[in-house]
Amino acid sequence: MDTGQDSFWGRLAPAEREALEVAAARRRYAAGDYLCHEGDQTKHVIVVLSGHVQVISHTTDDREVVIAVRSAGDIVGEMAALYDQPRSATLQALDNVEAITLLSDRFTHLCQTRAKLTYALLGVVHARFGELNRQRAEYGGGSASRRVFAQLVQMAVQYGQSNGTGIEIKSGWTQQQLADNAATSRESYARALRSLRERGIITTGRGWIRVHRLDELRRLAH
């Protein structure tokens, strides 16, 4: 499994990885499958081994907003399992996903008996709070265009794949979902993308965005 060092799995020592795998069951999800729904009382933890999972929340007017995408090595659903709470978000597979799932009591026992595992989990939680604060700073103010630019920078860095002509983003999100995530309208989002295309900073196609000049995109976002 190819994971980043900052992912939950990437932070674990071999002994902790083995302990998790022994206690867990392997699951596969097809693109579009739901791993859990917001408000569910399910009590299991999921570690993504491959593929991408989008984290969806609902606004007060019942719109779906994609708030994050998790990939190989990431842990999801840990808070509901640890604190015996309903699911705070819906998890949906963006592509074919393989994962391991642990019942909450098994995961809690491992956290209580393996300090290195608990330390890795704390590192993930701390990083996600930092991610949330960055999103608030980037999307909480400024023009709609700047929020779109900041979102694209974040997606390029976190999920983009270099292909020789740029950094390609294949999020699986609709333009409406991207606009909701950037706290703007679909029309404003489309205008921001058009302005970037006209400057040669990005090219777009069905289901993908290719960033050709990341430094320039960063400059526009700030």
**What pLDDT score does 44 carry?**
92
pLDDT per residue as tens digits for the range 43-86: 899 999 999 898 888 776 677 777 788 889 999 988 888 888 88
pTM of the predicted structure, to 2 decimals: 0.67
Q: What is the pLDDT of residues 137-189, one digit of tens each?
A: 555 556 788 888 888 888 887 777 887 788 998 867 788 888 887 878 899 99
Cα–Cα nearest to 195, from 161, 155, 153, 146: 146
List the structure tokens of 208: 């993908």
Helices (H), the chain: 8-11, 14-23, 78-83, 104-113, 115-139, 144-159, 175-181, 186-198, 214-221
Q: In the chain, what are the domain boundaries?
A: 8-137, 143-221
Residues 185 and 178: their CA atoms lie apart, in Å, by: 9
For 8-137, give the CATH class: mainly beta
What digits encode the pLDDT tens for the residues 89-138?
A: 899 998 899 999 999 999 999 999 999 999 999 888 888 776 665 655 55
Provide the residue type at 79 as one letter: M
Architecture in CATH for domain 143-221: Orthogonal Bundle (1.10)
